[in-house]
């Protein structure tokens, strides 16, 4: 019974930002849970390679190109995902993100634009396309990958914090509007997770670890449980949640 609750057998999951880090890791988690995973990113060579590795391990996986900042290409990317999987997208793992660490007064306009275009505008456009298709079937799941930085302020992270706070509030609005259409929408708010993106915070690593009650950074596999919960029948009555996965770090900012 427990295993079947968390099963994704027969589902199609589209994962953005899947060329590295959390997205790449969760693609493997969802594939092992039975989903056909479609890995999407700008770096097509990486998602193709990752998909091939999953297929070699006996899982269903495909790779497609997707730049979330190019709104005019998103519908075509969903078409490609559905063609590759041979089925509509049931689960969107909305994961693309970028970060700049600079004092507020030093952030350049181009940097601010890139963060918001990827983390908030891009996430919204991808979610809109997913929601339109899911609403037609009155079934679907959207998981937005936000951040603990969207819940509490962090120095030198002004554009990142603001974009992720916006994504969390967008999640609430989406959940409210889409519940009646059979679509659940939730956000995961990771803390400091050991990925390529985390390298930009290397100078602050020791200070961040000291501010984390569990006294360590997270690993991508620390997100496995919540990612499966929200994507599966185990989470069928959860919508509009923003769940921190941060070793208690947000508690130190209260």
Task: Give catalytic status of residue 93 as yes or no.
Answer: no
Residue 95's contacts (CB-CB under 8 Å, 6 or more residues apart) are 15, 16, 17, 18, 22, 23, 26, 145
Element containing residue 244 per DSSP (H, E): strand 242-245
What string of H, E and C letters represents the secondary structure of 198-235?
HHHHHHHHHHHHHCCCCCCCECHHHHHHHHHHHHCHHH
CA distances from 215 to 59, 205, 209, 244 (A): 35, 11, 5, 16
Write down the catalytic residue from 93, 100, 160, 237. 160
Residue 4's contacts (CB-CB under 8 Å, 6 or more residues apart) are 233
List the catalytic residues.
Answer: 160
């Amino acid at each position: 019974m427990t295993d079947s609750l968390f099963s994704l057998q027969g589902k199609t999951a589209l994962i953005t930002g899947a060329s590295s880090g959390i997205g790449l890791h969760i693609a493997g988690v969802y594939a092992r849970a039975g989903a056909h995973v479609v890995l999407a990113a700008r770096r097509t060579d990486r998602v193709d390679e990752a998909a091939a590795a999953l297929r070699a391990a006996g899982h269903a996986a495909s790779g497609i190109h997707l730049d979330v900042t190019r709104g005019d290409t998103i519908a075509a990317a969903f078409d490609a995902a559905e063609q590759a999987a041979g089925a509509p997208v049931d689960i969107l793992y909305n994961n693309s993100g970028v970060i700049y660490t600079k004092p507020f007064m030093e952030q350049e306009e181009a940097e601010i634009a890139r963060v918001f275009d990827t983390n908030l505008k891009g996430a919204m456009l991808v979610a809109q396309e997913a929601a339109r298709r899911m609403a037609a079937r009155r079934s679907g799941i959207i998981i937005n990958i936000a951040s603990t930085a969207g819940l509490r302020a962090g120095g030198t992270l002004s554009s990142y914090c603001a974009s992720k706070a916006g994504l969390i509030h967008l999640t609430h609005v989406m959940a409210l509007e889409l519940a009646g259409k059979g679509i659940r929408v939730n956000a995961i708010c990771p803390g400091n997770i050991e990925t390529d993106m985390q390298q930009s915070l290397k100078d602050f690593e020791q200070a961040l670890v000291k501010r984390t009650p569990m006294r360590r950074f997270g690993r991508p596999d620390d997100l496995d449980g919540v990612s499966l919960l929200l994507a599966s029948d185990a989470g069928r009555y959860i919508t509009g949640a923003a769940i921190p996965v941060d070793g208690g770090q947000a508690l130190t900012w209260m």
